[in-house]
Amino acid sequence: MRVVAFVTFFAVALTGCSGIPSVPYEEPAQSEGLARVRVITNSSVYGDSITGSCAPATRHKMAEAGRFGGDGTANINYPQHPLKPASVGMPKRVSPTLTQYIPAIRMGEGVYKEVVTEYRVRADLPFQIATLGATIGSYGSTYSSCGAQALVYTLEPGKDYEALAGVGSMPNNEGGQALLCILGVFELATLPGTPIVIPKKLTPAAPPQVVCKN
């Protein structure tokens, strides 16, 4: 039996996204018109500027969660990306910690843990955030899943954002935990003269469905 329990933040299916090739994300060479984005995921996140009306033919991997054993040792067969997360001086984090989970495949090889890293991104073009989703193992033959998704956001130069993608959890009516499939971006605004950070949820647009030819 297949069990699927999820809540998505602004989720839109990305048809066939797993078949699109990817390379590591690289920060833009330009020094103006940039925003800063903190990426938090226990699955995967790809970030791409959108030019025209088509989806990128090659996606750029910003982060991918790795698997860890019970003693905290990283599994070399499932390394996180990037191995050394970066910091670009952003305000403090506002998103909750994403849950650790055992995937439905090779359950004995450790749990997926979130990875947090920061980037500078272009803010002069719409920016697509995509994820491949996740499968979460359970007892017997049941499992839960979060599907592949993508959303497009309008970012503003000089501003800070937090992108959250992956698997979360919340208490259910039966005293257990219900899974949440999360994909969302929040603007981070710091109150002047204080360390207080106020998040503002961004409204996304649907991603292009036709892949660029080049």
| Alpha carbon distance 57, 70 (integer Å) | 38
- Condensed to tens digits (0 to 9), the pLDDT of residues 107-134 reads 667 889 999 999 999 999 999 999 999 8
- Condensed to tens digits (0 to 9), the pLDDT of residues 154-173 reads 999 999 999 999 998 888 88
Asked if the model's pLDDT at residue 11 lies above 70, the reply is no
Interval 125-150 mean pLDDT = 85
Q: Which of 77, 128, 85 is nearest to 103 (CA)?
A: 77
CA distances from 209 to 52, 142, 164, 167 (A): 12, 31, 22, 24
| pLDDT at res. 103 | 81
CA distances from 130 to 22, 73, 201 (A): 12, 28, 17
| pLDDT at res. 1 | 27
| pLDDT at res. 140 | 61
| Alpha carbon distance 78, 74 (integer Å) | 8
Interval 21-50 mean pLDDT = 95
